[in-house]
Structure formats: structure tokens, C-alpha cells
Structure 1
Amino acid sequence: MARTRIRLSAALLSAGALLAATGCGAADMTKQASPYANARGAKTVTLSVQSWVGARANVAVAQYLLEHELGYRVDTVQVDEVPAWDALSQGRVDALLEDWGHPEQEKRYVQEKKTIARGGDLGVTGHIGWYVPKYFADAHPDVTDWKNLNKYADQLRTAESGAKGQLLDGSPSYVTNDKALVKNLDLDYQVVFAGSEAAQITQIQRFAKEKKPFLTYWYEPQWLFNEVPMVEVKLPEHTEDCAAKEPGDIDCGYPTTPLQKYLNAGFAERGGKAAAFLKKFRWTKEQQNEVAQMIASNGLSAEQAAERWVKAHPDVWRAWLP
């Protein structure tokens, strides 16, 4: 996609702003390079983990298998998408397991600098769009065409959106096309940020429990579809010409993106069994959603969810082992 995946950081974070997430070890990864997995006998891998639960599911399962099947220590670093490319290039992390398409970074680091190597397809196809709950779409079938959204703006008003209909987004740190779309499609809506993916899920669940209508930015794969069925609102067709426009001029929908893995180039070459395993790591959106739902909805820790999934699906993950 020419204008980058849509959940980017609003501003590039400096290295000092990278936040350490869960993992074995509490080293400040902003001040040192991550050791390559087999460098001088070390068996440590550092994985970048994004804030949405699907990405956490990838890392949880990869971490569990690296530790319990291959004998590595795994550190994780939580970092937004564009800064993750910088960290990966500089060796502060070894692998990024779910990228939604950043052609500018790919050109800079993979093609030109050659400091990042492709790690292969994750096996999951990502898509971002606008959604309404199925119960509202069933009652008002024409709401699924963007041209009819203004007809329902009054029903979709909230205290936060004022006199306009509400388009619910997640974290304000995610750069989306939604404000541009509202403006360029002349829609009587206000983009309202929930604050995070978790907060957005909570609001969607509350609306659904009360059977209230809502319009939300959302994405697949996402386990919440299992709990709250939603129907996509058809936006103008995504095209490469549209995606190439300046961000404020975007007037088309979002693309469908095969999600990719990337490795630090040095780690890809010298990372031994860990690098080989991460290149082979590939699963379906249903499998990812199974783990994500255990983490986000069933109250399990990431490690507990990964352990449960690993024990239930040896036929899947054994094919990933080098």
C-alpha cells in the first residue's frame, strides 16, 4: 500500500521512547543492540510486539515455542509500527512478526540499506474498514453503502461527537485515513478516538449489549467479530492512484494486505534455529484469533494462552521447527 499501513505512530518515536513490554529480562533495549540469537553462543531473541492483540498473539506463541522447544531466552519490546522498522534496522530487535505494509520503509531498509530481510508471509490477510453492527445493518440494509451514511448520522450521534454522527476510532497514535475520508466524502461525522484498542473494544461491547447503533473503524483479523458480528460499510474502491495521494486528499477505502514478517538482516543470516523458526512461522487468522480471544476476552495471560494453544495444536507448530 503506497501510503503505509494505517495504524502507524502519529509521530516517529525516538529510540528513547521505545517501551519495554513483557518478556524475560528488563534490559533497556533503547540503549543497546539486541544480541543475535547464536552470536558467541548466546541464545537470546528480541521480538517487536505491537499494541493490538493479534500481534501479541503472534509473539506469545513464537516466544513460547522459542523458549520451550528451542531453548532460547526471549525478550520483547513494545514499539509502534514505523519506529519498529528503525529498531529492526539498528538491531535493537531481531524480528517483527506482523507488518501491514510500509513501502517507504521497505524500500529504505530492505532494498537500499539491506539492514532488514524479508521473513516471509505470516499467513494472515489484514483488512481495515468501517463497520456497523449486524443488527443495525439487518434493520437498515442501505447503511452498508457510504453514500447513505449521512441519512443515519442523527442515529449515530453521541455526546462525544456533538451534532454529528460518531465514527469511533482506536488510539490517537494510529494514523488513519478516517478524518480525510469524512472530509473528502462530505460526511456529517466526527472521528472520536477511544484511546486504545482495548478501550475501543469496551465501547463496542457496551453498544452491542444495549443494541445501540454504532459506526467504527475496525480490522480483520480480530477476535471481536466472534462476539459482536459486524458488517462492513462499502467505501469507494481502493486504488493505487488514490493511495498515492497526500494523506489529507485520500478519498478511497482501505486495501487488503497479506501480513508480512521481517528480520534484522544480521539476525536472518546468523540467527541459527531461531531465525529459521521465525521464517517458517505461519498460521491462519482463525488460529491467531483463537489465541487473541484467550488473551483479550478470556482473561488468560499471553503465556497461558500460548501454552494452551501450543498443547492443542502440535500438528500445526511442529512444521515450524527447524
Structure 2
Amino acid sequence: MLYGSGGIAAATRVAVFSAALLGGAGLAQAQDASACGTDRTIDIAEMTWPSAAALARIHAKILETGYGCNVEVVTGDTVPTSSSMLSRGTPAIAPELWTSAIEQQWEKGIEEGKLVELADAITDGTVEGWFIPRYVQEANPELVKAEDVIARPDLFPDPEDPSKGRLYSCPPGWACELSTSALYEAYEMKDKWNLFSPGSGGALDASIARAFTREEPILFYYWGPTAILGKYDAVQLDLGEVKPDVYACNTDTDCDEPAAVTAYPSSPAVVGAASWVKEDAPNVAEYFSKVGLTNAQISELLVYGEENKADAAATAENFLKTKKDVWHQWVPEEVAAKVDASLN
């Protein structure tokens, strides 16, 4: 026997004390996981397009009310935001950064350790291409490839010139106007198709909405995630393989090569951050590593904004109220409970 009764009591007290310490440490770890972990302001870039703006507001609400972070939403756009993150470490987060437009700058920032990529903002990539309504394809199941549709201008008559089909392009000045015009030329569509410029993004949306509402045929360029692709059941046509060099030439006004056929590349859209976030606010970095959404999910959340004329903040609040099954998976239970309470 190693201990007397006094020794046993002392040993018991030590065991209880140790267990209390371990329990307290476990509790502290659980509490730390739901805390912001930094006193620095987490400034989030609200980009100028609807999906990025809504995502900025979603994340700001969760970080502020759930984690207790000091959060500021700041105006942003792809080039100035990435430049500021690289040179000044602010804003801290760009929740939907399309890096294809800043590829060299972004890679430089990663290599120098000034920028980090926390996750894919759009997990299945952005979408860009030519579309037709599903009801048109169901009535004509042979329409799968662009060539299939191009061979049937009679199915997509131009209202102003029924002897030809109509392809709805992009507004003047947009990059997609160049790419669509190049494909129109490469497919040699001029004799049987008219390339229609809608004049503005709103006019393009109105033309698409009118066709779907009336269940009329329409061939149009579009991209996602967007409210249009979330609201209307459109089928993307097969444009073949992506040829990056061809696409680069098709969208470069100084390229002298003739237009050629290529599919549109899927642009990466990531959650970009200043590198200090990962070092100084690991809980915030961990949170953003889980927040990716699919193209369809983002398009769906934008439908609410479009149908209700809601701004980014209202669109974000609707997502938080109606998609708890999605965003609750991003955070600890304690954080989710705090956000839910703030919404009520």
C-alpha cells in the first residue's frame, strides 16, 4: 500500500484539480473557436456586382454577430481591391475575387506571402457561354451543340428580320461583346443570323425575361452566377473545348489572327485575403475556408434580390434566414445561435 488515508485524499484532490484544469482548457478551446481572435478590423470588400456584394454582407453579418469581430464593409472592385491588399494589407477579405483578370498580380502576391487564397468562392466555377431555354431543347432534343442551333435559324427568328435568326450578344463595351462577336464570325453566321446588341445589361435581361415568360425561343449569351440563370431554366450549349490562346485573341482588339471557335473558360472566383488574416485571425481564416457555394446556390440567392428589388444587405439577410442548412455548416453551434438570435 503506497498511500495512507491522508495520501489518498491528497491524491484525489490532485486528480480533481487536474480534471478541472483540463475541463477548463477544453471549455476555453471551445470558446476560442467561436471568438474572433483578433482586435484588428476585418474589412470586407463589397464588389460592384450583385453576387459579390451579397456575399460580403453575409460574411460581415456572421463575423460581427456570431464571432464578435470588428467588421467594416468597404467598396471594392477587382483591380483596386487586389492592389490595396497587396500593398497595404487592406481590405482583409475579398469574398468573390475573379483572379483571371489580375492573374500576374495575384500570383505575385501569393509568392511574396502578402496574399492568401482561403477557398473557392464558387466551388464549381463561373459559367459563361451561349444558352437556349430548356423548353426549346425539350421540343428539339437534337439541339445540344452550338452548331446544332446555328443550323436552325428558323427556330430563333429575328423579330425585325424573320428571314434570319437572332443571337443576343452583350452590351457595347463589355468584354463579352468581343468574345461573342468573334464566335459569330468564326461560325460564319452572318448570312443566316443577325447579331443583336441589347444596348445595356438591363435590356439584355429584359429580352431574356420576356422570351421565357412567353415561352418563346431565344439564343443568348449569358454568364453566372446571376439571377437570370437562377430564375430561368436555361441550357448551356456545347461550344467544344476551351482554347485559352484563341479566347485571348478573340477578346483582344489588337490581335490580328482570324477569329476561331473556343468555349468560354471558367474563371476562378476565390476568397482572397491579406496574409495577416491567416496569422492574426486563424478563426476567421478557418471560417472562410468553408464558405464556398455552388453556381446554382449563388444564382438562387440573387433571385430574391432581383424579384424583391432588395439591396445586398436585404438579400444577405434573406439567405441567412432561409438557408440555415447551408451556412450553419460553416460555423460552430454557438456562432450559429448568436447569428440566429440577431436575425430575430
- Normalization by structure 1: what TM-score? 0.71
The structure-2 alpha-carbon separation of the partners of 1:174 and 1:321, relative to structure 1 and needing over 3 Å to count, comes to farther
Q: Is 1:309 aligned with 2:319?
A: yes
Are the aligned partners of 2:46 and 2:52 in contact in 1 as well (CA < 8 Å)?
no
The structure-2 alpha-carbon separation of the partners of 1:143 and 1:290, relative to structure 1 and needing over 3 Å to count, comes to closer
Structure-2 separation of matches of 1:83 and 1:160? 44
Structure-2 separation of matches of 1:315 and 1:142? 38
Instruction: State the partner residue of 2:337.
Output: none
Structure-1 separation of matches of 2:180 and 2:162? 14
Instruction: State the partner residue of 1:54.
Output: 51
Q: 1:220: how far off?
A: 3.8
Are the aligned partners of 1:281 and 1:320 in contact in 2 as well (CA < 8 Å)?
yes
Structure-2 separation of matches of 1:44 and 1:101? 21
Q: 1:132: how far off?
A: 0.9
Instruction: State the partner residue of 1:254.
Output: 264
Structure-2 separation of matches of 1:161 and 1:63? 51
Listed as ranges, the gaps of 5+ residues in structure 2 are 1-35, 253-258, 333-344
Give CA-to-partner distance per residue, 1:238-261, whole Å, 9 cap, x none. Answer: 145645656354521123456322
Give CA-to-partner distance per residue, 1:156-185, whole Å, 9 cap, x none. Answer: 425599977232326744446222222222
The structure-2 alpha-carbon separation of the partners of 1:265 and 1:300, relative to structure 1 and needing over 3 Å to count, comes to same
Give secondary structure in 2 for the equivalent of 1:206.
Answer: helix
Q: 1:285: how far off?
A: 3.8
Q: Is 1:283 aligned with 2:293?
A: yes
Listed as ranges, the gaps of 5+ residues in structure 1 are 1-36
Are the aligned partners of 2:157 and 2:164 in contact in 1 as well (CA < 8 Å)?
no
Q: Report the more deviating stretch, 277-286 or 200-209.
A: 277-286
Are the aligned partners of 2:45 and 2:73 in contact in 1 as well (CA < 8 Å)?
yes
The structure-2 alpha-carbon separation of the partners of 1:117 and 1:217, relative to structure 1 and needing over 3 Å to count, comes to same
Structure-1 separation of matches of 2:294 and 2:152? 36
Q: AA paired with 1:56? A: A
Which structure features the higher share of helix residues? 2
Q: Report the more deviating stretch, 203-212 or 239-248.
A: 239-248
Q: Report the more deviating stretch, 168-177 or 128-137.
A: 168-177
Give CA-to-partner distance per residue, 1:89-128, whole Å, 9 cap, x none. Answer: 23453222223441334333323x4432112222531221
Instruction: State the partner residue of 2:93.
Output: 95
Structure-1 separation of matches of 2:189 and 2:80? 33
The structure-2 alpha-carbon separation of the partners of 1:212 and 1:156, relative to structure 1 and needing over 3 Å to count, comes to same
Instruction: State the partner residue of 1:45.
Output: 43
Are the aligned partners of 1:122 and 1:259 in contact in 2 as well (CA < 8 Å)?
yes
- Work out which of the two has the higher radius of gyration on C-alpha atoms and give 1 or 2: 2
Instruction: State the partner residue of 2:24.
Output: none
- Normalization by structure 2: what TM-score? 0.67
CA RMSD of aligned residues (A): 3.5
Identity %, equivalent residues: 18
Structure-2 separation of matches of 1:90 and 1:171? 33
Structure-2 separation of matches of 1:207 and 1:174? 24
Q: Report the more deviating stretch, 285-294 or 267-276.
A: 267-276
Equivalent position to 1:204, from 204, 208, 222: 208
Q: Is 1:195 aligned with 2:205?
A: no
Mapping 1:131-280, distance limit 5 Å: 131-153=131-153, 155-157=156-158, 165-169=166-170, 172-175=173-176, 177-188=179-190, 189-190=194-195, 192-196=197-201, 198-240=202-244, 242-243=246-247, 247-248=251-252, 249=259, 251-256=261-266, 259-271=269-281, 273-280=283-290
The structure-2 alpha-carbon separation of the partners of 1:120 and 1:250, relative to structure 1 and needing over 3 Å to count, comes to farther
Give secondary structure in 1 for the equivalent of 2:197.
Answer: strand
Structure-2 separation of matches of 1:302 and 1:218? 21
Aligned positions, number: 281
Structure-2 separation of matches of 1:161 and 1:99? 42
Q: 1:262: how far off?
A: 1.1
Structure-2 separation of matches of 1:88 and 1:158? 49
